[in-house]
Amino acid sequence: MKVIITVFILLTSFLSASSSTNIAQKELQKQMEKEKKYAKEQKFYQKKEYDLKSMEVNPDSLKSLPDTQEDEDDFDMDDVY
């Protein structure tokens, strides 16, 4: 009887230890992902990963756009009311 109880206690402690290890591993993985994200954001905020060359506009392509700018001095208060 004592042997059965001892084996049961050992198995229970082993299973609970392995499940707590799994939980700890999952939490550790989550924290590692957060640290990776934080490190990437810090590189960006410290201007190490700015790639503004892709956002530049070719001045020659602006010539092909139509000039449709309306006169901004033409403001009528009657439209407001």
Determine the Cα–Cα distance for residues 13 and 4; give it in Å rounded to an integer: 14
Lowest-pLDDT range of 1-10, 23-32, 36-45, 66-75: 66-75
Query: Domain ranges in the chain?
Result: 8-48
Q: What is the pLDDT of residue 57?
A: 86
The average confidence (pLDDT) of the chain is 77
Q: What is the pLDDT of residue 9?
A: 76
Asked if residue 27 lies in contact with residue 35, where contact means CB atoms within 8 angstroms, the answer is: no
Q: What is the pLDDT of residue 53?
A: 80
Q: What is the pLDDT of residue 15?
A: 65
pLDDT digits (tens, 9 = 90+) for 18-49: 667 788 888 889 998 999 998 888 887 887 76
